[in-house]
Structures are given as C-alpha cells and as structure tokens.
Structure 1
Amino acid sequence: MLAPHCEHAFCNGCITQWFSQQQICPVDRTVVTLAHLRPVPRIMRNMLSKLQITCDNAEFGCKAVLRLDQLQSHLKDCEDNPKRPVMCEEGCGLEMPKDEVANHNCIKHLRGVVQQQQTKIAELEKTAAEHKHQLAEQKRDIQLLKAYMRAIRSANPNLQNLEETIEYNEILEWVNSLQPARVTRWGGMISTPDAVLQAVIKRSLIDSGCPLSIVNDLIENAHERNWPQGLATLETRQMNRRYYENYVAKRIPGKQAVVVMACENQHMGEDMILEPGLVMIFAHGVEEIL
C-alpha cells in the first residue's frame, strides 16, 4: 500500500497493524490514516510479482520456490498444506484438514453420525405420529359430515339426485383422463390378488384421481369372489373369453392392471360387468393404446 503524500510503500498487513496503534507514517512520521492509503503503482506491483519466495508451507515440507504472483494458486493445491481437505482412508468417508488426520477416530465420527440419524429418525417418528393423529381426526370429521349429508338427503330427495349427478360427472371426468388399454394376455389375469397387491392398486387409483366414493368398491371388485356370473370362475371365464375384446378398458397408471367401468361398458351383458366397475390385475400383457 502507498501513502499518497510521502509516497512511502508498505506491506498491507504490516501497515494495517501499525495504524491500529498510531496514525503516522513509520518512515517520516507524517500524519497518515488507513483511509488515506492507495494501491502501489502498477510498475511496483509488477516488480514485486517477480520476487522469488518460498511457499507458506515450507515449514511443513514444501520445497517450492515460486514467483509472488503464483503463490495463491499454488497454496490452493499445495500437497504440504496442513489445512488441505483429505478423505479418510479407513472407510468412514469423512473429509477433514490434513493436519487432523493423525488424531482422527473413525468410530467416534461414525458414532456422531449414528446419533444424528437417530435424532432425525425420532423427529420423523414424532412428525408421523402427529400426521397420523391429524388424519384420524379428519376421518372422524368426514364420517360426521357424511352422516349429516345422509340426514339432509333423507329429508330432501332432490339433494340426493343432485349429489348423484355430481358424483357421476366426477367419475366420467376421471375415466376420461385415463389412457385406453389393450390386454394381450388374458391368461395372465390375477383373479385372487392378496391384500398387499390390492393396497398397491388402491394407492394407484387414488393417485390417478379416482373419486374416493368408488375406490373401495373398485378394490372389492378386483377379486373374483365379487365378480359377475360371467367371470366368477375359471371355467366361466374360459367360456366367455371371446367377449373380452369387447371390453372398454382403461389402464391404471404405472400398473399391469385395468379398470373396466360400467359407464363405458353398457354394451356388455349384465353377467360381464358390475357397478361401478371392475378392476382386473395381470402379471403381464397390459399395453396402452396410443
């Protein structure tokens, strides 16, 4: 740095420390403050940048001698820099300064990681419990609301007709949002899906926007025990297989399963369809019609 009046030049770090004690030039004692200092002329900077100096990490083993203007870039990659980040080679994966490797203890570090994870798990479990409680309250509220609506409908039949119309329109809107599907292997039908598979399909129905008023009915109709007469047994399914191609089926997104809705299959016989519809699950062979 340069004092503008007397033009004396100083190291920035040194002169800053000097001015913290007194506000005069160290050479001629004229009054100068830190705010008066200016950068040295370019010619002086060029001269200084050519100075050959040792690395700051010489005491740690670095033998490099380089120009001043190359020092900062060298320090970033200097192998002898005690603060250079290194990875633990014992397997715990911790990144630490090089001078801390000697005192590093993998078990101590991993114990801290485990404790952090346990704390996080406890927080998540607490949040999950709160959400579960909120969900239970919401379900109770919904049941109360449904009971209230039933009471209103019983008192006013016109409201019941209006609700049925709204519900039917919701079903049509959802069905139209699904992708038409083709089943290429009817023999891969899973007619007795277990509870886990039914739960997976139910989640997919809900995620696809299926009206909640028919979700449970559709899942109940995913098992052959609830299927219509024409699909009730393996023998009747084999007899009626020639009619399967007449079904209008929509794919349940992301699953090897289709929904066959009564509103789209009024051309099928009563022994081949159910209200509000059927869910058919397959091991393979479900394709979208593009």
Structure 2
Amino acid sequence: MRSVARMGYDTERFVGYVNEGLLCCICRDVLEDPLQAPCEHAFCTSCIQGWLVHYNNCPEDRQPLDLSNLQPLYRYMKNDLNRLQLHCRNKECGCEMVCSLESIDRHERECKYSQIPCSNAGCPVQVERCNLDSHLAECEYRSRECPNGCGYSSLRAEGAPHSCMAELRTELELLRSEMVCRMEEAKHEMESRLDFQRRHMVQKESLLQNEIEELKSQMSRMMSDIHTLMATERQHRQKLEQAELEKQELLELVKGLQKDYRLTRDGNKKGTNVRPLTRLESMKRKPREVTVI
C-alpha cells in the first residue's frame, strides 16, 4: 500500500480527550478541512484526495468511493471539532496560547513567534515575527540610499563607489523608455477606441436606415388604407344620397295616398259606389323601377 502524507492536526497539541469520530481515518490525526463519505467515515480533504488518486474505495471499509460522493461533515460533528482546544504550533518557541480549533489559524497567522521570511529581496533568512525589525536593521540585503541625495538605492556595502551622474542618466533613460511605452500604449488604446466607435456608428447607421425603410413601408400601407377608406366613404355617401331620394319619393307617395283617401271618403259621403283607383293600387299593379348603382 502506498503511504499517504499526514495532513491533520497532531493529536499531541490538543488539551483533553478527543473523540475517535473526529480523527481522520487515513492519517489518524484530528480532522483538518474535513469531508465525509456516504458510509459516514471522515477524512482530511488532502488525505482523501491523495488516497483516491490511487484507489477508488473507502480506506476504512473498502466501499466504492468517488470524489463526487464526498460531502461536508455533519454540523454537530463540525461544531464538536471547532470547540476542541489546542496549543499554538509555536509552543516550543515560547508561545503559551491555547485556543479553539476554529480560531487557531487566525492566531498562528498573527503569532509573534511565527517564522516569517525577511522582506528584503534576495534574503533567504526566516525570523520570528517579534525579531523581524531587529533583523531588518542589520540585514545585508537591505537597500542603502546614496548619501549625496540623488535618490539612488543599492545593495552595495557602505563606501562602495557610486556615480550619481551615471545613475541619473540611467534613471532618465529608463523614464524616457517608460514614457515612450506608455505613449505607444495610449496611442494603441485610442486607435482601438476609435475603431470601436467607428464600427458602432456604422452599425447604428445601418439600424437607423432599416428603421427608416420600415417607417416608409408603414407610411405606404397607411396611405393605401386611407385611399381605401375614402373610396368606401364615397360609396356610403352615394348610398345615402340614393336613400334620401327614395325617402323623398316615398314622402310624395304618402302625400298622394292621403289625398286619394280624402277624395274617396268625400265620394262615399255623396253615395257614390264607384271607388277611384288609388295611387297605391297603381303601384301594386306596376312595380316601381329601382335604380341600380
């Protein structure tokens, strides 16, 4: 069986009893960044990922297992894990802090006994955080400014020869080169923006032209509809005029009927048995001609 690197928290660092269920099934240390399999066995994330590179089962009960099957630890187990108390990893260096597992990383990032690298470029030394300032004051990789005030900094030992004019010329040349590069970048950026604006305007012009053509088409359809409506309106007007003429004729006919009725009534009063032919009977006998438009 291939060996797997230990990635959990060392059990020796913890204060008091640690439940067996909070130990990684692979490294047997306290779980770090834990994941849980469907079979409820728990592992450090790094441990189980390294295991599944070579195997496709649970290291505890050999049940089939894949990365996609892994889930976060149950909440109650996660809470129990976070409440565990342990010593800072810098205990042997003098740190006496004991805190919960939930806050140990934050403490160790700020612990004054933590080993941190020197901030000077090229320096390989790592020192305790509390001793960093004293190291920086003596570090042989610290930069030194020119005593003549030219602003040049170097890693040369004090007293080493230095030409302010040469350094200033070099600095000026660097500034000039940087300025030329920035001008070229600005030029390319402006050209790119102008090209983008030009393409945008061409697209906008094309869209506007299409909208104009669509409006022209709509206007043409509206004019056609107006002409159709006007023609329909003329036909309706002609029908109304014809109806008005027919109305007048009917009124004249009614007046004639009323006159014939009076004449008939007067004739009856005189004892006459002859009933004159009325205009209505005449119309019944001879249908009135209807003019077709």
Do Structure 1 and Structure 2 share a fold, with TM-score over 0.5? no
Larger relative CO (CA 8 A, sep 6+): 1 or 2? 1
Taking structure 2 as the reference length, what is the TM-score of the superposition?
Answer: 0.34
Taking structure 1 as the reference length, what is the TM-score of the superposition?
Answer: 0.34
**The structure with more radius of gyration:** 2
